[in-house]
Structure 1
């Protein structure tokens, strides 16, 4: 698995969801499907799906927010009704792999961060981008925010 540190800017049009962290695995894809029915309303999008997640800070932090959306190529002046424009610039540690292996990818990235001495930034969104590959499979690229 290839892990690295990157500085990245994400420009996103998306819709916000809120719920229990334990339900993100089902709630996020459901909201993403709803969002995709409105994709034709968004100008200048890249076609790359994205999700931003509030990090779980500790065991008592049970609910959080997230955004599902699409990466846009430049800043948007007119945002469709019910959607938000978000632009974030951050230093991340990142890795990419098959989406059906997402839990293991997160675990390995966290271990790598620990081995490298990186400290997670729990005030910034975790980012995942989704990339279709052959045989109707999908890869996910995970970006965990870190302090410099």
Structure 2
């Protein structure tokens, strides 16, 4: 794996979901299917899927939330009541791999952050996963993912 520092600046239309962290492996694909059924309701939508996660803040933190949606090329004015326009702008440490390597990717980025003199912003800031190719309703676990963790310099 290879880590690097990057600046993100984009918007996406996301739908918010919540559930037990322990059930995310089933909840996220189910939520993705729900979002895919709404495809076409957002204008200027790209194929790039974004998942924005609340990180788990400790053993007592059992329920989390996340957003699933697609990047957009222009600001949206007419969104459904359940959709939110979310603007991402900040500095992130990043690495990539496949979904089945997710734990290793997160572990690697955390080590890379510390080893390169940066300070993590979480658990107060959200994690980002970006899938450049459209995700399908049935996840194969081999889909390519770019993971972004928010940081600032020490």
Q: Does 1:58 align with 2:63?
A: no
Task: Using the TM superposition, give the Cα deviation of residue 4 of structure 1 relative to its aligned residue in structure 2, in angstroms.
Answer: 0.6
> Where does residue 67 of structure 2 map in the other structure?
67
Q: Tell me the matched-pair count.
A: 146
TM-score normalised over the length of structure 2: 0.87
Task: Using the TM superposition, give the Cα deviation of residue 13 of structure 1 relative to its aligned residue in structure 2, in angstroms.
Answer: 0.5
Instruction: Confirm or deny: 8 A CA contact 1:131 1:138 kept in the other structure.
Output: no
- Would the alpha carbon gap of residues 58 and 117 (structure 1) be closer, same or farther in structure 2, given more than 3 Å must change? farther
Measured in 2, the distance between the counterparts of 1:110 and 1:84 equals 29
Q: Deviations over 1:110-137 (max 9, x none)?
A: 111121132211211100011339xx84
SS in structure 2 at match of 1:11: strand
TM-score normalised over the length of structure 1: 0.90
Q: Gaps (5+ residues) in structure 2? A: 135-139
Task: Using the TM superposition, give the Cα deviation of residue 30 of structure 1 relative to its aligned residue in structure 2, in angstroms.
Answer: 0.9
Alignment partner of 1:142 out of 138, 144, 147: 147
Q: Over the residues paired in the alignment, what is the CA RMSD in angstroms?
A: 1.7
Measured in 2, the distance between the counterparts of 1:144 and 1:24 equals 18
Instruction: Confirm or deny: 8 A CA contact 1:55 1:125 kept in the other structure.
Output: yes
